[in-house]
Chain A
Amino acid sequence: MKRVMVLVVLAALAVLGTTPQAARAGGFQLNEQGARAMALAFAAASGDGADASTVFYNPAGMTQMKDGLHLMLGLTPLLPQATFTGPTNQNRFATTNMELWAFPLPHAYAVYKVPQSDLAFGLGVFVPFGAGTLWNENWTGRNLSIRTYLQTITINPNVAYALFDKKLSVAAGLTYSIGHAELRQRVPNFGTEPFLNLRGDGTNISWNAAVSVEPVKGLRIGASYRHNINMRYDGNAKFTLDAEGNTPLPAGLNNLFADGPGGTGLNLPFDLRTGISYRFSDQFMMELGIDYVGWSSYDTLRIRFDRLPGAPSRSGEVINPRNYYNTPTFRIGGEYTASETLQLRAGAFYDVVPVEARYTQPILPDANRLAVTAGAGFKLSDNLTLDVSYMFVYGLQREVKGSTFGFDGIYNSWANALAFSFSYRL
């Protein structure tokens, strides 16, 4: 039990300490919460309880796990990349590369399946939403975006119960999320272009629920719903001469752009995952999944300023239209058990872009995304399993014409990710 405590503490420390971040899913959602699931292109919502990451993908699957305590700890280094070519409405066709910025996304889970019962408890710590984009501070879109950083750490206790001889499992959980948001851009009105650094923090409590059924032996259908996380980030807005926020503005400008409290809010979208898996044989299983994400919650981005830029004697809100809409993602994944100690996996997904081209901004270069994944699971001992996987996400080229922000151009984006998960069963 002592060893367990050490592992749990280590897991928590790892999750909280790695400044988890993120980037590439539709919008700013992150699905990278387990190496096995990533190898299957996240087609892991049927709730078969293959490993403890089922706490994230479908907690009803916890009832399908073996009795006892299961621990998982992992990391998903993610490297999103993008280029912008334009602004084409100014007949400029130069290509700017987004700066390289990698994000180590951690995940940690503990599941306790109460022995000889239909009851299971689980705890997950993961990063369900995040984004990070970084452009050169002098680039042509600097008044739209230089640095954007969004992180959400969610702590998610769940309980699951199985009925009808484990043919039906249900689960419910609470989420406690800690959010952090940063926004950096430049104000281009004058020859001296101040940097605006906005940062804020917030917390939120929300909930999730899941169900999984096995109507026929080998066939499993599951659905997992995570409710909106309505986050309010409170912090401050700072105007400086340098990007990092250290050099104050000269007297000429500090009466126009004044530091002060500020913040923003994001209603992080709900997420309904569905999956249908079929075990063709002892060796081979396959899952199809459709996710539906409530991006329409991201209709406006409101930034609060106690001292409005350009009119610091007033407070106010800057209301940006975003007009995202709900979109599906289609997933397929397969797993082949080659031997007692080795499983091979592969998958693919297609993620429908949740925003019209004309609202697309360098702050978050969204695109229709096609991804392929591959991975393997290695049983290192009776108790210890290592899963590894690789994902390549290809963002279909996005051409913006008639941009709401006067910033037409062509976005190309792609991402590479590796994932490692260690699973330990007591």
Chain B
Amino acid sequence: MKSQQQSHTFKQIPARLLVLVAAATLFALQACTPSLTPQPGTGALGSLVPAGTPVRYVALGNSLTAGFQSGAVVGSEVQYAYPVLLAQQLNIPIGDAPEQFQYMRLPNDGGIGTRNRIASFNAQGLPQITGAPLSNQPTNLMLARPYNNLGIPGALLRDMMPPANDPLYPRRFAQVANNPFFNPFFGAILRGNPQQGFPFGANCVEQAARLQPNLVTLWIGNNDVLGYASSGGTSGTNFASGFGTNPMVAPAPTEVPVFTAQFNALLDSCVRRMPNAKFVVGNVPDVLSAPYFTTAGAQVRAGLRDALNNPMLPAALVTLIRQALPMFPTGILVRSSAAPGGIKPLSDADLFTLPAGLGGGVTQYATRLIGAIGVAAARIQMNPAMAQQILQQTLVENAMPNDFVLDEAEQAVCRTATNAFNAAIAAAVGRYSANKQAVLFDAFAVVNQVRQTGYPFQGQTTTPTGAVVGNTLRFDFVSGGFFSLDGIHPSSRGYGAVANEIIKVLNREYGANIPLVNLIDIPGLPIGQPTL
């Protein structure tokens, strides 16, 4: 118990003290301003460019560099090409002045290519995709200097710096009948043609050199394997061996020695012509991990099984097929340029191309196959001893078209080529590792990583069990978000991820501190009408 005197003291002091302390604390707290512990991306460029020098950036490459997606380069999406995003993160103004960054502009809903769109989702939640051809002119065709983004969709390695007597390169510009090499992007982006001349340079490397860049991204070589892969092995880029001119030459990816020599020559020439530039050189990702090859399989196999389950089919026929092909459709024959004799049984490891599945080609094929088997069944009834031969002959005659399938052997061809190309690219970059004049952007490793774990994206996503985990952009067609609707090229957000991975290379290799792109600031896949 306190004495009376102590009580008195308490009566006088503590209450005032409390009020004072409270008031003081209040003011102290109010005065606190938030401070940031982590430092913002300062935009510091490290050793990327000499101090005080603005970045002059040029991008060389193919469709991946051009911002091609969903089958086209479109005005409203070309701004999300990774070179444009990278320029923004580098604080390079977008504009026409020589030191600014400029790229091919197109009317907002115009473009070049066949643009895929999600028309709607059906009752099962599956996307219904429609394509519309677009062939607009660039709105800044008259820019009096080269574009900084010189990525040309469809460009092969050989198109970067073709020799004067190159037989193929002029055909890129010639919109005439029976010219499969015509490609509208060459004329639109380089803004010239062999007949009327090239005001800014005859190829993209010449044009790049004219801009006197101090930073160049060079990402080329994908089409030297993709041409073969996306055609299901029915087309190739092995022109040096005579493909395209000699009908006896089977299609294949670009020959490794040719690729190696061309890549070395390209990088040598680039370094010579742009001596002040740092080069970030991308390699070739595993094309087979793209939804173009991984999406249609389940659908196609189910479609074939459904065709066999048609109740209109005679029971005897179904029994016959089930006896001959217990694993149907596995075991039906498929044409393959890589198989001995050009034909092989369909295996579970074979990949179907996206157009084969979504384009309805396989559905038509299944109808034809089942019809032919029906005819065979009638013949077998008349001649039962020949049953096996008749069925085999029918399957051969109705083998699945080559372009539907990238079979195991063809996949191996793609992997071998990709690995060899990447070894050549790494070796070429290695020759310029002094002062980090050239550094590698290991797109192959990045894509493998993203395929396995997804690319981090804010928010939450549910697992099949309902548990919520961190959100990611994944490779799944449409729902995954990383790829666009053509299944080969990234979406706008996917390109944002590419830009961020290149920024990480710059930050790591040159001690820069360039801020990353905030992926949610980039729109998701467009749906429905353009106005949406």
Contact = CB atoms under 8 A, between A and B. Distances in A.
Interface of A: 83, 85, 87-93, 95, 140-144, 188-193, 250-253, 255-256, 280-281, 283-284, 286, 308, 310-313, 316-321, 334, 336, 338, 344, 346-348, 370, 372-374, 392, 394, 397, 399, 401, 403-407, 410, 412, 414
17 contacts: A90-B518, A91-B515, A95-B34, A140-B520, A143-B458, A191-B526, A252-B532, A320-B460, A334-B18, A338-B15, A346-B15, A346-B22, A347-B22, A392-B26, A397-B34, A405-B458, A406-B471
B125 interface: yes
B4 to A, nearest CB: 9
B364 interface: no
A87 B30 CA distance: 25
Nearest to A309: B462
Contacts of B528: 192, 250-253
A252 B119 contact: yes
A250 B530 CA distance: 13
Contacts of B2: 280-281
B466 A318 contact: yes
A370 B30 CA distance: 12
Interface stretch (B6-14, B94-102, B230-238, B261-269): B6-14
Interface in B442-491: 456-460, 462, 465-472, 479, 481
Contacts of A334: 14-15, 18
Contacts of B6: 280
B460 A189 contact: no
B198 interface: no
A335 to B, nearest CB: 8
Contacts of B122: 255
B527 A410 contact: no
Contacts of A89: 456
Contact of B526 (A190, A255, A318): A190
Given A281-B10, A283-B11, 10 more contacts: A92-B515, A95-B34, A188-B459, A193-B524, A256-B121, A281-B8, A319-B466, A374-B19, A399-B38, A406-B470
Contacts of B124: 313
Given A188-B524, A310-B125, A372 B466 contact: no
B134 interface: no
A321 B118 CA distance: 33
Given A83-B34, A321-B468, A336-B15, A280 B523 contact: no
Nearest to B8: A281
A394 B27 CA distance: 11
A143 B493 CA distance: 15
B34 A250 contact: no
B120 A251 contact: yes
A141 B467 CA distance: 20
B470 A405 contact: yes
A270 B419 CA distance: 61
B519 interface: yes
Q: Is the interface of B mostly helix, strand, loop or mixed?
A: mixed
A404 B459 CA distance: 9
B34 A392 contact: no
A62 B303 CA distance: 76
B424 interface: no
B526 A372 contact: no
B370 interface: no
Q: Which of B6, B123, B467, B520 has the most CB of A within 10 A?
A: B520
B211 to A, nearest CB: 27
A280 B7 contact: yes
B22 A255 contact: no
Given A252-B528, A253-B527, A412 B34 contact: yes
B315 interface: no
Given A91-B515, A313-B124, A348-B25, A191 B34 contact: no
A191 B458 contact: no
B34 A85 contact: yes
A394 B29 contact: yes
Interface in B347-366: none
Nearest to A332: B18
A226 B516 CA distance: 48
A250 B8 CA distance: 76
Interface in B94-153: 118-125
| Most chain A beta carbons < 10 A, residue from B7, B41, B119, B459 | B459
Given A252-B527, A318-B462, A344 B15 contact: yes
B36 interface: yes
A346 B462 contact: no
Given A284-B14, A392-B29, A90 B527 contact: no
Nearest to A302: B466
A318 B465 CA distance: 9
B442 to A, nearest CB: 21
B525 A190 contact: yes
B40 A91 contact: yes
A193 B521 CA distance: 12
Contact of B457 (A320, A321, A372, A406): A406
Contacts of B123: 255, 313
Contact of B468 (A319, A346, A370): A319
A391 to B, nearest CB: 10
Contacts of A90: 458, 500, 515-519
B443 to A, nearest CB: 20
B32 interface: yes
B22 A348 contact: yes
Given A348-B22, A405-B460, A250 B515 contact: no
| Residue from B40, B41, B462, B524 whose CB has the most chain A CB atoms within 10 Å | B462
B35 interface: yes
Contacts of A311: 125
A404 B40 contact: no
B455 to A, nearest CB: 10
A88 B456 CA distance: 13
A244 to B, nearest CB: 19
B19 A310 contact: no
Nearest to A217: B1
Residue among B29, B41, B123 facing the most chain A CB atoms (10 A cut-off): B29
B88 to A, nearest CB: 13
Contacts of A312: 125
A191 B532 contact: yes
B253 to A, nearest CB: 34
Contacts of A316: 462, 466
A256 B122 CA distance: 8
Given A91-B515, A346-B22, A406 B459 contact: yes
A405 B469 CA distance: 7
A322 B15 CA distance: 42
A144 B532 CA distance: 23
A143 B523 CA distance: 13
Contacts of A373: 22
Contacts of B26: 372, 392
A171 B372 CA distance: 87
Nearest to A143: B459
Closest 10 CB pairs of A and B: A336-B15, A252-B528, A91-B515, A93-B40, A91-B41, A281-B7, A191-B526, A143-B459, A255-B121, A346-B18
B36 A286 contact: no
B344 to A, nearest CB: 37
Contacts of B35: 397
Contact of B532 (A250, A255, A317, A321): A250
A373 B19 CA distance: 9
B19 A372 contact: no
